[in-house]
Structure 1
Amino acid sequence: MNLRFGLQAKFMLLMGIALLVVLALVALLFNRQERMRMEVEGVSRQTMRTMMGESLRRQGEGAVAQLAATLTNPMYYSDLDAIGVLSRATLRNRDVRYVVVYDDAGQVLHDGSEAIANYGKRMDDAMAGKVIASRALLTQCDEKVMDVSAPIMIGQQRIGGVRIGYDLSAMRGYQDQAVGQLRGRLDALSQRYVIWIGLLGAGMLAFGALSLWLIQRLLVRPIRELAESARAIEAGRFDTATPIDNRNDEVGDLMLAFDRMSRSLARHDREIRRMAYTDALTGLANRLAFRESLDQRLLQLHGAGCQLALLFADIDDFKRVNDTLGHDAGDDVLLQCARRIEHTVQRIGGDQAMLARFGGDEFVILIQADHDPNADVRKIATHLAETLVTELGEPILVQDRQVFLGTSIGITLFPEDASGATSLMKNGDIAMYQAKVAGKNCFRFYSRAMDQAVERRVHLEHELRGAWDRGELSLAYQPVFRLVDGAMIGAEALLRWKHPELGVVAPSVFIDVAEQSGLIEVLGPQVLRQACADAVRWQESRKGEEPLFLAVNVSPRQLRNGDLPDVVEASLRETGLPADLLHLELTETAVIGDERHASSLLSQLRGMGVKVWLDDFGTGFSGLSHLRRVPVDGVKIDRSFVADVLRDPDDLALTTAIIAMAHSLGILVVAEGVEKEGQYAILRERGCDFAQGYWLGHPVTADEFMAVAC
Structure 2
Amino acid sequence: MAFGSLRARLLLLLAAVFAILVVTDVYQALERRRSDTHYIVDGLQAQARLIAEQQGDAVRRTESFLEFMTASLNASRLAADPACASKLQAYIRDDEYLANVFFADLNGRVICEARLTTSPVSVRDRAYYLSAFKTPSVVAGEPVFGRMSGRWVLPFARRYLNANGEIGGVLVVALDLGWVSQTLKDATPSNGVFRSLVTSKGIVLAHQPDPNKWIGRDASGFPGFKKLLALNGDGTAEASARETHDGIPKIYTFVPFAKTNNDTIYLWQGFPKEIATAKANNQFQSALELVGVLVLASFFLAWFGGYHLLVRPIEAVVQAARRIAGGDLNARTGLSHSSHEIGQLAGAFDTMAGQVARIDVLTGLPNLRSFEASLASLLDDATRQHARIAVIRLQIREFDHIVGAHGLAHSVDVSRLAGQRLQRVVGNAGILARVGDGNFAGAFPAVRDAIQAIRLVENIQAVEREPIDIGGLSVTIKMCFGVSFFPEDGRSADDLLQSAGMALNLAHKSAISDLLFYEQEMNARQLKRIKRPVEMRQAIEEQSFELHYQPQQALNTGRLVGVEALVRWNHAEEGQISPAEFIGLAEESGLIIPLGDWILQRAVTQLAEWRSAHPALSNLVMAVNISAIQLACPDFQDKLVRLLAQSGLPPGNLELEITESVLMSASSEPEKIVRQLKDVGVLLSIDDFGTGYSSLSYLKHLAADKLKIDKSFVDNVISDPDDMAIVEATIAMAHKLGLAVIAEGVESAGQADELERLGCDQIQGYLLSKPMPAGPALEFLCKALNETDKK
Residue from 736, 741, 748 that aligns with 1:664: 736
SS at match of 1:620: coil
- Shift of the alpha carbon at 1:496? 1.2
| 1:61 aligned residue | 327
Residue from 331, 334, 349 that aligns with 1:235: 334
| 2:486 aligned residue | 414
| 1:365 aligned residue | 441
| 2:393 aligned residue | 312
- Shift of the alpha carbon at 1:406? 5.2
Residues 301/460 of structure 1: CA separation in 2 closer, same or farther (3 Å cut): closer
Residues 462/358 of structure 1: CA separation in 2 closer, same or farther (3 Å cut): same
Q: Is the 8 A contact 2:426 2:460 kept in 1?
A: no
- Shift of the alpha carbon at 1:594? 6.4
- Is 1:687 equivalent to 2:766 in the alignment? no
Counting only pairs closer than 5 Å after superposition, residues 97-116 of structure 1 correspond to structure 2 as: none
Relative contact order, higher structure (CA 8 A, sep 6+): 1
Q: Is the 8 A contact 1:461 1:514 kept in 2?
A: yes
Q: Is the 8 A contact 2:610 2:617 kept in 1?
A: no
Counting only pairs closer than 5 Å after superposition, residues 507-546 of structure 1 correspond to structure 2 as: 507-543=579-615
Letter in 2 for 1:296: S
| TM-score (ref. length: structure 2) | 0.53
Residues 394/242 of structure 1: CA separation in 2 closer, same or farther (3 Å cut): closer
Show CA shifts across 1:649-687 (max 9, x none): 221112112222233333332100111111111111111
Show CA shifts across 1:168-189 (max 9, x none): xxxxxxxxxxxxxxxxxxxxxx
- Alpha-carbon separation, structure 1, partners of 2:622 and 2:713: 24
Q: Quote the sequence identity (%).
A: 29
- Alpha-carbon separation, structure 1, partners of 2:420 and 2:605: 57
Letter in 1 for 2:372: L
Q: Greater CA deviation, 50-59 or 644-653?
A: 50-59
Q: Is the 8 A contact 1:633 1:668 kept in 2?
A: yes
Residues 413/423 of structure 1: CA separation in 2 closer, same or farther (3 Å cut): same
Letter in 2 for 1:235: G
Letter in 1 for 2:334: A
- Alpha-carbon separation, structure 2, partners of 1:399 and 1:700: 57
| 2:376 aligned residue | 298
SS at match of 1:700: coil
- Alpha-carbon separation, structure 2, partners of 1:394 and 1:39: 61
Q: Is the 8 A contact 1:670 1:689 kept in 2?
A: yes
- Alpha-carbon separation, structure 2, partners of 1:357 and 1:597: 39
Residues 446/338 of structure 1: CA separation in 2 closer, same or farther (3 Å cut): farther
Q: Is the 8 A contact 1:367 1:381 kept in 2?
A: no
Show CA shifts across 1:415-447 (max 9, x none): 442232221221122112332454365221112
- Alpha-carbon separation, structure 1, partners of 2:473 and 2:705: 31
- Alpha-carbon separation, structure 2, partners of 1:509 and 1:339: 38
Residue from 661, 667, 674 that aligns with 1:589: 661
Show CA shifts across 1:534-583 (max 9, x none): 12223334547652222111234434556543443443344333333322
Letter in 1 for 2:584: D
- Is 1:284 equivalent to 2:363 in the alignment? yes
Residues 396/636 of structure 1: CA separation in 2 closer, same or farther (3 Å cut): farther
CA RMSD of aligned residues (A): 4.1
- Alpha-carbon separation, structure 1, partners of 2:396 and 2:708: 30
| 1:646 aligned residue | 718
- Alpha-carbon separation, structure 1, partners of 2:463 and 2:649: 53
Letter in 2 for 1:634: K
Q: Is the 8 A contact 1:474 1:497 kept in 2?
A: yes
- Alpha-carbon separation, structure 2, partners of 1:696 and 1:297: 60
Letter in 2 for 1:688: C
| 2:105 aligned residue | none
SS at match of 2:601: helix
Q: Is the 8 A contact 1:316 1:441 kept in 2?
A: no
Q: Is the 8 A contact 2:363 2:417 kept in 1?
A: no
Structure 1: gaps spanning 5 or more residues: 1-33, 66-136, 140-232, 244-258
Show CA shifts across 1:353-380 (max 9, x none): 4241513xx512214235xxxx546445
Letter in 1 for 2:751: Q
- Is 1:474 equivalent to 2:573 in the alignment? no
Letter in 1 for 2:696: L
- Alpha-carbon separation, structure 1, partners of 2:548 and 2:321: 62
| 2:529 aligned residue | 457
| 2:707 aligned residue | 635
- Alpha-carbon separation, structure 2, partners of 1:641 and 1:565: 33
Letter in 2 for 1:683: L
Show CA shifts across 1:630-656 (max 9, x none): 554332211121111121222111211
Show CA shifts across 1:292-311 (max 9, x none): 22223322441244654333
Q: Greater CA deviation, 339-348 or 397-406?
A: 397-406
- Shift of the alpha carbon at 1:349? 5.8
Residue from 549, 555, 558 that aligns with 2:627: 555
SS at match of 1:616: strand
What is the number of equivalent residue pairs in this alignment?
A: 481
| 2:569 aligned residue | 497
Letter in 2 for 1:311: I
- Alpha-carbon separation, structure 2, partners of 1:358 and 1:661: 48
- Alpha-carbon separation, structure 2, partners of 1:668 and 1:400: 49
Q: Is the 8 A contact 1:291 1:421 kept in 2?
A: no
- Alpha-carbon separation, structure 2, partners of 1:668 and 1:388: 52
Q: Is the 8 A contact 1:393 1:407 kept in 2?
A: no
Residues 337/267 of structure 1: CA separation in 2 closer, same or farther (3 Å cut): closer
- Is 1:618 equivalent to 2:690 in the alignment? yes
Residue from 417, 421, 424 that aligns with 1:343: 421
Letter in 1 for 2:442: L
SS at match of 1:409: strand
SS at match of 1:302: helix
Structure 2: gaps spanning 5 or more residues: 1-299, 783-791
- Shift of the alpha carbon at 1:593? 4.5
- Shift of the alpha carbon at 1:393? 9.2
Q: Is the 8 A contact 1:350 1:367 kept in 2?
A: no
Residues 276/480 of structure 1: CA separation in 2 closer, same or farther (3 Å cut): farther
SS at match of 1:670: strand
SS at match of 1:411: strand
| 2:507 aligned residue | 435
- Alpha-carbon separation, structure 1, partners of 2:540 and 2:603: 14
Residues 608/339 of structure 1: CA separation in 2 closer, same or farther (3 Å cut): farther
Q: Is the 8 A contact 1:411 1:432 kept in 2?
A: yes
Show CA shifts across 1:262-298 (max 9, x none): 5556666777777887778xx2369x92232222332
Residue from 343, 356, 366 that aligns with 2:434: 356
Q: Is the 8 A contact 1:369 1:377 kept in 2?
A: no
| TM-score (ref. length: structure 1) | 0.59
SS at match of 1:469: helix
Counting only pairs closer than 5 Å after superposition, residues 31-180 of structure 1 correspond to structure 2 as: 41-42=307-308, 44-61=310-327
Residues 582/331 of structure 1: CA separation in 2 closer, same or farther (3 Å cut): farther
Residues 546/38 of structure 1: CA separation in 2 closer, same or farther (3 Å cut): closer
